[in-house]
Amino acid sequence: MAADGADRILVAGGGIGGLAAALALARAGRRVAVLEQAAEIGEIGAGIQLGPNAFNAFDALGVGPLARSRAVYVERMAMMDAVDGSTVASLPVGDAFRARFGNPYAVIHRADAHGSLLDGVRARGDIELLTSTRIERVEQTGAQVVAIDQHGVRHAGAAVIACDGVRSAVRAQYVGDPVRVSGHVVYRAVVEAADFPADLRWNAPVVWSGPDCHLVHYPLRGGEQYNVVVTFHSREREEWGVREGHPEEVRSYFDGILPQPRQLIDLPKSWKRWATADREPIGRWTYGRATLLGDAAHPMLQYIAQGACMALEDAVTLGEAVRAHGDDLEVAFARYERSRIARTARVVLSAREMGRLYHARGVERLVRNELWRDRPPERFYDALEWLYGWRAETCLAD
């Protein structure tokens, strides 16, 4: 073992993808250092949905019981028409769903999903965590990489995994492709249960679809809080980014929506505002001893609720590839990306299509409302097999 840590794998970014990658690599027998730009490793206050594939990945990372204990198990997923109140789709996710996919569908506070991974990392005691360390550039010579941070400090390792999110510095260095700003703006907030309307307390992630907009709500933390997310097509020319939101802006986008879902926009005391973006899927993630993972590899729109789930799957797959080819990281990375690129590209493209359905107007809305009418759950499950049927045991392509 090199005294300077040159045999360790560097993970740039300590989000869900980065911590999952660190756990997976450590479980595959590698030394790992996580380099995170923030002063503290943490997550924003908002919820995420977790498909059964995410729980399969949590199990493979050794933190399944922790994540399960912090999740809220929903009864169904629902899509409502926010203009006439009709049910567009209602998909039960109880026993039959669990039996089909081997795991539940759940919602969770982001901090609790991330915290489960962080607890797993800390419990091992062998993963270095460096904060206030923003990686700006990677240099490679032979079997060594050096990640250089904002202070010019050089962090040596055997490889770097870029888990630095949608604005990845490592992807900018090796790929240099533009973000594809959607023009869709998301406002997110968490509301205490006491302030949440009784007629919206459904134990389900509910999407109210309107023309060029939609609203989402679901319970968090055993029903003590509710996640509220509203999305609209902006009138402004947007640039990708996050900032504080303004209630007046939200209110100006939801005319023509029924009072029941519309009351959601008056609930939060403060909002965070995301101007969202994705990127075109790319056919190569690995550049020598640097490879991409999570949003750095496949940033996507949120309409299919799978970005974090895919980051978890990536991490497990990377760990398995390193376990299989540990002595040759370049071969391991090639196998990892071969196992992941088509699948994650399908999710990126499906998310765009789902956004179109969510926001359909006019005749397209009528088509959307006919699409899933009276469809039995088994047909939904068949259609979702490719997504939710992922298994850690079979994650590596030949």
Ligand X SMILES: Cc1cc2nc3c(=O)[nH]c(=O)nc-3n(C[C@H](O)[C@H](O)[C@H](O)COP(=O)(O)OP(=O)(O)OC[C@H]3O[C@@H](n4cnc5c(N)ncnc54)[C@H](O)[C@@H]3O)c2cc1C
Interface contacts to ligand X, rule CB under 6 A? 12-18, 35-38, 48-49, 134-135, 163-165, 169, 186, 188, 274, 276, 294-296, 302, 305-309, 311
| Nearest partner of 230 among 195, 197, 273, judged by Cα | 273
Minimum CB distance to ligand X smaller for 2 or for 38: 38
Secondary structure class of 173 (helix, strand, coil) = helix
How far apart are CB 19 and ligand X at their closest, in Å? 8
Minimum CB distance to ligand X smaller for 284 or for 379: 284
Q: Provide φ and ψ at 338, rounded to 5°.
A: -65, -30
Alpha-carbon span 302 to 305, nearest angstrom:
5
DSSP-derived secondary structure for 79-105: EEETTT--EEEEEE-SHHHHHHHSS--
| Nearest partner of 243 among 278, 277, 272, judged by Cα | 272
Minimum CB distance to ligand X smaller for 163 or for 264: 163
Q: Provide φ and ψ at 262, rounded to 5°.
A: -65, -25
Give the CA angle between residues 214, 278, 178 to the nearest 5°.
Answer: 140
Minimum CB distance to ligand X smaller for 108 or for 369: 108
| Nearest partner of 138 among 171, 116, 167, judged by Cα | 171
Minimum CB distance to ligand X smaller for 13 or for 120: 13
Minimum CB distance to ligand X smaller for 160 or for 369: 160
What amino acid occupies position 130? Answer: L
Is residue 9 within 8 A of residue 31, CB to CB? The reply is: yes
How far apart are CB 10 and ligand X at their closest, in Å? 10
Provide the 8-state DSSP code for 222.
Answer: G
How far apart are CB 135 and ligand X at their closest, in Å? 4
Minimum CB distance to ligand X smaller for 36 or for 81: 36
Minimum CB distance to ligand X smaller for 202 or for 324: 202
Alpha-carbon span 204 to 91, nearest angstrom:
10
Minimum CB distance to ligand X smaller for 109 or for 369: 109
| Nearest partner of 207 among 91, 62, 337, 97, judged by Cα | 91
- Sort residue 176 into left (φ over 0), alpha (ψ -120 to 50) or beta: left
Q: Provide φ and ψ at 296, rounded to 5°.
A: -65, -35
> Which pair of structure tokens corresponds to residue 343?
């699948």
How far apart are CB 367 and ligand X at their closest, in Å? 25
How far apart are CB 202 and ligand X at their closest, in Å? 16
How far apart are CB 363 and ligand X at their closest, in Å? 28
How far apart are CB 277 and ligand X at their closest, in Å? 9
How far apart are CB 25 and ligand X at their closest, in Å? 14
- Which is it for strands 290-292 and 159-162: parallel, antiparallel or unpaired? parallel
Alpha-carbon span 217 to 219, nearest angstrom:
7
How far apart are CB 293 and ligand X at their closest, in Å? 7
> 106 vs 55, 205, 221, CA distance in Å?
9, 9, 11
